[in-house]
Amino acid sequence: MTQIDFYSDTDDRLHTACRLAAKAVQQGCKVMIYTPDSDTVERLDTLLWTFSPTGFVPHCAVGDKMSDVTPVVLGHQSDNLPHDDVLLNLHTEHPPFFSQFKRLIEITGTMPDEMQAARVRYRFYQERGYEIRHHKIGAV
């Protein structure tokens, strides 16, 4: 069964996603970051190059010829999933394919609409019997 972790109370969801993706890669995991749209993919692409002054997180887009061997893959569609290790969800809804992954990471911001959408996703997983771990990380 998929392990689900909610990280809440962050002022910058994209920066938090970069930090968590980098940490997962350091632990030997592959990460798929699922976004709501191509604009978010582009913003994440830029941020993954610049968020750390001393590090780089190798990444590419879903469908790229290197996606099978790249530690972090970015996408807003569920086609051509390159692995089943870690799924990091930045979409407002639960990913329809989340159960294919060993681990799901949900990141919740501090805006009321983000928190409400996260509550809906939390209940969705909970009603299906998933054990959920919660980590309050605060502003990053």
Residue 120 CB contacts under 8 Å (≥ 6 apart), including other chains: 93
Give the predicted TM-score (pTM) of the model: 0.94
User: 114: burial class by Cβ within 10 Å (0-12, 13-18, 19+)?
Assistant: middle
Q: Which among 84, 82, 79 has a CA at the least distance from the CA of 3?
A: 84
Q: Which domain holds residue 125?
A: 3-136
Q: How many domains does the chain have?
A: 1
Q: What is the CATH number of the domain that holds 45?
A: 3.40.50.10110
Lowest mean pLDDT among 38-42, 59-63, 76-80, 119-123: 76-80
Q: Tens digit of pLDDT for each residue in 59-104?
A: 999 989 999 999 999 999 877 788 899 999 999 999 999 999 999 9
> What's the Cα-to-Cα distance from 15 to each of 38, 54, 111, rounded to whole Å?
17, 15, 16
Give CA–CA dist 100/118, Å, rounded. 20
Q: Tens digit of pLDDT for each residue in 6-33?
A: 999 999 999 999 999 999 999 999 999 9
